[in-house]
Structures are given as structure tokens and as C-alpha cells.
Structure 1
Amino acid sequence: MKKWKCTVCGYIHEGEEPPEECPICGADRSQFVEIIEEEEKTPDTQKEPIPQEASPKVSEPKIKTKTPDFMDRYKTYTDLMAKFHAHPIAVHIPNGVLPGAVLFLFLSILLGHQGFETAAFYNLVFVVVSMPVVILTGVVDWKTRFNGTLTHVFKVKIICATIVSSTGLILVLWRLINPHVMAPGSSFSWVFIFILLMMLAAAATAGYFGGKLVFRNK
């Protein structure tokens, strides 16, 4: 049976034909290449290397080292980000802290304790501050590991990142302008909660597709 590899995410498909769409990253069948397995060479076909006469050593001209410019440094940094999985590490911040903000907010409503609402606000601030790092490392990861191919999976992740960043910033500014927006009896409290839940749903969706890309062959 033939094997086909997605050139975007590395997913391996077995079948006579490549799939219409990659189940992991959403790339179409044109992004698949057939994996040709080389047959092992038999002993009688293997040729012994022909010894070559040692050629006289020729002194090579010294090449002046070039001072790394901006693009060289940029490539070095992006390679390090990809090598040490900076994006999967960074996304754990909003994915871990944001549910805590939702939990604290509901506890403040149920128990009527202002301390939980304050904790939810600080968690939300932490998420908003971390999002530029998440987006930057995500773009680098997308460019280096997936060749910047814009499939529907990456479109969804970009939309989700935009929703999380924009809604988070709106909620933080709203809370700063009106510190009592989540106070008991506030007419806007449920609007605030709805936006926060929408933010959480976007983060969860991005995390789901990110998990598919990381564990693509499982």
C-alpha cells in the first residue's frame, strides 16, 4: 500500500491515492507527496569504493567572517523558538489562566465575595499581557514548521487568537473604567460574563486544533 506525506504538517496517509484533504491541517491533496521506500541493496550489487590517490593539499583562502545582520539574527531567534517549542509553551498561559478567571468570576457571583472578582480580573490581565507572546511564537511556528501555508485550520487559529486578544483587552479596559461592572446587581454583569465565555470558547477551539497539529499521527 502506498504512503503519502502531507508537506505542510507531516501527516502520513496510507492508501492508493492521497486524501482530498489532510485531516490534521486541512491542506488539499496537492500538498501530499508519495513516500518512496528505497529497497535494500543486495551484497552483490554493492560496489567497493575505489581508492583514490591523495591529492596535494591546497591552502584555501581565508574567508572573512560576515557580521550577522538583522535577518541573520531573526532567523537565529526563530530557529531557537521552533527548536525549543516556544509556542506550545506560551499557549499554556492563556489556556491555563483563562479558565481560572471564569471560575473566580462565577464564585464571586455565587458567594458574593469581591475577592474572587478581583482575582478573576488579575487573571484576565495576565492573559491579555501574554497574548502578544503567544501570537508572535505562533506566527514563527507557523512559518518555520508549516511553511506559512494558510489552510482552514490555521485560519481558525488566527481568528481565535484575534478574538481572545480583542475581547480580553475590551474586558480589561471595561473593568478599569467601571470597577463595579461585576458588582451584585450590576445590569452589565451578564454581558461581561458572556464575553468572557466567548473568549474561553475561542481559546479552547484554538487549543483543540493546536493539539491536532502536535499529535498529528495519534
Structure 2
Amino acid sequence: MKKYVRCKVCGFIMEEAELKDVCPACGVPKTAFVEHKFNINEKRQKILDLHLHPISVHFPEAIAVFILGFFILSFILPEDMSNNLLTVNKTLSIFFPITVIMAFVAGIYDAKVRFKKLSPPYLKIKIYLGIALFIGSLLMPGLFIIVSYTAVSKIFIFIVALINLGLCVVLGKMGSKLFECVMPG
């Protein structure tokens, strides 16, 4: 079984065998480290150490940022560049729901491992917001590929893209509060 240590200054946790002369996070001498024991079993800890959900959420978040950003830029730039950005957005909009599903599934799995159930209030809210993000992500391909670019459709695309990005931000903020939480056992 691996031994872990925690920096008393910044709280950084790492394997004892990997500790060199200083804390890799804050730079204090290694004398600031103390033994650390996780309050969950090793199998659950190994799964959580993969960071499947925290890593997977970066994909839909990035796509949401680029879709909104490129859409706004398409109004500012010359027509040929604008058309290129809209083509990129069409492509991104196809991958958006796929990445949302991947992050959602990883989040459900992470929550089951971390909390052993999906009923805590924050998790319920995150699940509902994740479903809303998935619905919003499903709208994007239709809006970019099927709908013709009228003034009304552009406003609707902007609103949906803004809502999607807002949902990503709220979900990320909530998730960051839960990152260190784990049910013992």
C-alpha cells in the first residue's frame, strides 16, 4: 500500500516516494510534510485519483466558450472569415452534445464513487443542470446546420450559446466546491 504525505502549509497531497526537497505546489522544504491517510478505501481512492470527471468537463466547457466566442467574432470580422468561423461552429456543435454526455456519465460515476449515492442536494442540482446543458447542447447543431441565418435565428443562437456557457460556469463552480468532499469508508 502506498504511503501519502500532506504539506502542512498548502495542503498538497502526494505519494511519499515522489517527495523531493521541496513541496511541488508551494516550494516549502520537505520538512513541512506530514503523513496523510485517506478516509476511504484504496480502490475508491484510485478511481477518484483518475480525475475522470474533472478532466472530461474541460471538453464541453471549451466548446461552449469557442462556440459563443466565434459566433460573436463572426459579426465583427469580414464575411469570408465570418463564414469560416460559422463552419467551425457547425463542427463544434456536432461534438458538443457528445462531450456533454461524456462529462455527465463521468460525473455520475464520480459521484457514486465519491458519495456512494446520487441523492445529496448539490448532486441533484448538478444533475438537473447537466440535463439542461445536454438539452442546450442538442439545440446547437440544429441551430447552426438546419436553421437559416436570419436576425431572429442569430439572436436565438446567441441566447442558447450564452445559456450553455452559463450552465458550464455554474456546474464548474459547484463541482469545485465538491472536489475535496468524499464519504468515508
TM-score normalized by structure 1? 0.56
Deviation at 1:92, TM superposition (A): 0.9
Query: Partner of 1:106 in structure 2?
Result: 72
1:158 aligns with 2:127: yes
Query: Partner of 1:138 in structure 2?
Result: 107
CA contact (8 A) 1:87 1:141 kept: yes
Letter paired with 1:189 = K
Q: Residues 188-203 of structure 1 correspond to what in structure 2 (within 5 A)?
A: 188-203=153-168
Instruction: Work out the number of aligned pairs and report it.
Output: 136
Deviation at 1:97, TM superposition (A): 2.2
Residue among 47, 51, 59 paired with 1:85: 51
Percentage identity across paired residues of the two chains? 21
Unmatched runs of 5 consecutive residues or more in structure 2: 1-42
1:95 aligns with 2:61: yes
> Aligned pair in 2 of structure 1 residues 149, 162: CA closer, same or farther (>3 Å)?
closer
Which structure has the larger Rg over C-alpha atoms?
A: 1
Letter paired with 1:187 = V
Out of 97-106 and 167-176, give the one that drifted further.
167-176
Higher helix share: 2
Unmatched runs of 5 consecutive residues or more in structure 1: 1-75
Cα-to-partner distance string for 1:35-66 (whole Å, 9 max, x where unaligned): xxxxxxxxxxxxxxxxxxxxxxxxxxxxxxxx
Deviation at 1:173, TM superposition (A): 2.2
TM-score normalized by structure 2? 0.66
